């Protein structure tokens, strides 16, 4: 069981197939095997979405907040399966999503991910996103572990 650890972007890249600019999480901490993990996303002034969403009032798109949750959840689950480099996760549904406050460049997003259920290769994850101690977004995510395809 891992706990109070810190995993940097290089280690994240060793398990997840995502790459820049779509690798959104910068660091993972407090990983508890098949239970929970915390991810950090630094929303930068030069983040790829800032220029077009929106030029005069940049806001992190809600769909990217959910994508960051998916990436953190993917790491949490794949980190615990056999042969994780041969696996991937495809997200199939999301529910109960709420976006409570805008996330702007300069914010550090802290994603608290909890694995509620993992059975027969399907995971149900609950994610909450915070800026400092303010809850800014949340959602429930469902995904299935699949064999990784090489194209």
Q: What are phi and psi of 65, to 5 degrees?
A: -65, -45
* Rounded Cα gap, residues 149 and 151, in angstroms: 6
Domains of the chain (ranges plus CATH)?
6-147 (3.10.129.10)
* H-helix or E-strand spanning residue 36: strand 36-42
Residue 3, pLDDT score = 52
The catalytic residue positions are 53
Q: What is the pLDDT of residues 8-63, one digit of tens each?
A: 999 999 889 889 999 999 999 999 999 999 999 999 999 998 889 888 999 999 99
* Predicted model pTM: 0.93
Q: Cβ(26)–Cβ(41) under 8 Å?
A: yes
DSSP state of 82: S
Q: What are phi and psi of 19, to 5 degrees?
A: -135, 165
Q: Cβ(113)–Cβ(41) under 8 Å?
A: no
Q: What is the pLDDT of residues 90-143, one digit of tens each?
A: 999 999 999 999 999 999 999 999 999 999 999 999 999 999 999 999 999 999
């Amino acid at each position: 069981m891992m706990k109070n650890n810190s995993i940097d972007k290089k280690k994240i890249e060793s398990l997840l197939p995502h790459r820049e600019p779509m690798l959104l999480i910068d660091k993972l901490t407090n990983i508890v095997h098949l239970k929970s993990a915390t991810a950090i996303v630094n929303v930068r002034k030069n983040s790829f979405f800032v220029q077009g969403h929106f030029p005069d009032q940049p806001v992190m798109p809600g769909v990217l907040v959910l994508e960051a949750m998916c990436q953190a959840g993917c790491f949490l689950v794949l980190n615990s399966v056999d042969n994780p480099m041969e696996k991937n996760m495809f997200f199939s549904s999301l529910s109960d999503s709420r976006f409570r406050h805008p996330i702007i460049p300069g914010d550090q997003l802290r994603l608290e991910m909890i694995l509620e259920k993992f059975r027969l290769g399907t995971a149900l994850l609950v994610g909450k996103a915070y800026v400092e101690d303010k809850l800014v977004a949340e959602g429930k995510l469902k995904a299935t572990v699949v064999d990784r395809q090489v194209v």
